[in-house]
Structure 1
Amino acid sequence: MTVETNELNFEDQLIHYLVNIGGTKQWEYLPEIQTTDQLWANFKHILEINNPDKLTRPLSKTEFAQVEEEISNLDTPYHAGQFLYGLNGKSQVEVDLDDNHHVFLTVFDQDEIGAGNTVYQIVNQIQREPVLAGRKSRRFDTTLLVNGLPIIQIEEKADGVDAKTGLNQMHQYIAEQQYTGFYSTLQILVAIAPHDVRYMANTTDDQFNTDFAFRWQREKDNRPVYDWKEFCNSMLSIPMAHQRKILRRKKYKETSIIILNHNDYF
């Protein structure tokens, strides 16, 4: 069995585990979504459902183009983090409707994280066309969406492969500007093998440094977590993510490097 086959099999195991990990609210797997256009359409649908008090019909192409532009203009993970947190914990996009009404549509409400109307989804093998001339098309492993937007990117590696190779792979994607457009909101990078897991904050190409990649530590004894299932239970399950305030972050200066710890993911 090739390394690539092993990685695809492990990817399937990981997705199956996240979907069935238990709890009142978990990840929903969407295998039918394979392209960026489908991801935008999925986000649009969730945005419309979560704003019934502001919208009486689906957004038109012109109206949603304003939303796409606002998200695509998030030029750094830091600015994306500011957008996701929003004002007083509520993230909104501003839209001029075709009937001349002006509305603010809620993307995230921190009070709803882990419950309420928050939607948690998994997509994988997303096809990405090259952004820079002369570069290759890419296919991402696994993306975790919250309310339709990409928050966590996971690259799976076969057993015995250093997880840092997955982070270096994502660094290449950053250099190729693949984490732009729809993927501008990406906050956390996870490289995972069956017995090796490392994670770090998404960052710009010039600031990328795997020295800031962490292993998850058990709270009871501060020992590093190597097993992928234990990592999923601790960091990626919805109840634990809610408990650890997923999508809630400490204030930090723009020049500082985001440090992910046990209490705040973003």
Structure 2
Amino acid sequence: MSYEREDALEAKVMKRLEGIGYERVPIRSNEALEQNFRDILNRRHAKLKAEPLSDKEFSRLMTQINNKSVFDSAKILRDKFVLKRDDETELYLEFFDQKNYARNSFQVTNQISVEDRFKGRYDVTVLINGLPVVQLELKRRGVAINEAFNQVKRYRRDNYTGLFRYTQLFLLSNYNDTRYFANGDKEIMKSHMFYWTDEENNRIVR
């Protein structure tokens, strides 16, 4: 059996996502993640192109949407959000366009380092409009998929704060075996994992 290195699998995943249209962005910290989110907000909303969010406005926004429960974060992601600007006018923000997916910004990054209760570094992160909605945990070929699950479990307990509460889906792979499960506020269990399958529900293996 060949033992493909974890970083080799990571490189393949990144290349594949770039190949189907995801923009590769260099995000290595929580601070860079928040700045990228802010930049995309200003770019996606017509009123913000002419008058971008001020530091106070962005700080106020983050106070209201950041570090919420996974359930509340999902609601914020789906609904329109009203932000009061410095001049007391109201601005309606949309974090995800459900009607026209092409109006959303799709990005991918890797090796984001965070330091909450403990240090953590995430393999691959998929972002929609700057929010990290899918997290991929990869292991080299030959390592049990449960190792990836246990690592995600530790990250959820010790590290997933701030905008990472918007993570909706976890995808685990050791190249031969790929599984996924939804995020939530309750304890996750291995029985929550589903196999990655094709349209006819056949498991995809390599």
3-state SS of paired residue (2:195): coil
Deviations 1:52-95 (A, max 9, x none): 136631111110012212221421x2222222222xxxxx2322
Deviations 1:14-69 (A, max 9, x none): 10111114xxxx11111x32111111111111111111136631111110012212
Query: Does 1:208 pair with 2:188?
Result: yes
Which one has the bigger strand percentage?
2
Aligned twin of 1:159? 141
Aligned twin of 1:226? 205
- In 1, the alpha carbon distance for the partners of 2:124 and 2:12 equals 12
Identity of aligned residues (%): 29
3-state SS of paired residue (1:64): helix
* CA shift for structure 1 position 223: 1.7
**Is the CA contact 1:71–1:185 (under 8 Å) kept in the aligned structure 2?**
no
Query: Does 1:28 pair with 2:23?
Result: yes
- In 2, the alpha carbon distance for the partners of 1:210 and 1:195 equals 18
3-state SS of paired residue (1:140): strand
Q: Give the TM-score, by structure 2 length.
A: 0.92
- In 1, the alpha carbon distance for the partners of 2:177 and 2:144 equals 7
**Is the CA contact 2:67–2:163 (under 8 Å) kept in the aligned structure 1?**
no
**Is the CA contact 1:191–1:198 (under 8 Å) kept in the aligned structure 2?**
yes
3-state SS of paired residue (2:194): coil
Aligned twin of 1:181? 162
Q: How does 1:2-151 map to 2 (within 5 A)?
A: 6-21=5-20, 26-30=21-25, 32-53=26-47, 56-75=50-69, 77-86=70-79, 92-113=80-101, 115=102, 117-130=103-116, 132=117, 136-151=118-133
* CA shift for structure 1 position 7: 0.8
Aligned twin of 1:257? none
**Is the CA contact 2:108–2:124 (under 8 Å) kept in the aligned structure 1?**
yes
* CA shift for structure 1 position 199: 0.4
- In 1, the alpha carbon distance for the partners of 2:111 and 2:17 equals 16
- In 2, the alpha carbon distance for the partners of 1:56 and 1:100 equals 17
- In 2, the alpha carbon distance for the partners of 1:44 and 1:158 equals 34
* CA shift for structure 1 position 219: 2.1
- In 2, the alpha carbon distance for the partners of 1:18 and 1:109 equals 20
RMSD after superposition = 1.7
* CA shift for structure 1 position 203: 2.2
Q: Give the TM-score, by structure 1 length.
A: 0.72
**Is the CA contact 1:164–1:198 (under 8 Å) kept in the aligned structure 2?**
no
3-state SS of paired residue (2:151): helix
- In 2, the alpha carbon distance for the partners of 1:46 and 1:184 equals 18
- In 1, the alpha carbon distance for the partners of 2:95 and 2:74 equals 13
**Is the CA contact 1:70–1:93 (under 8 Å) kept in the aligned structure 2?**
no
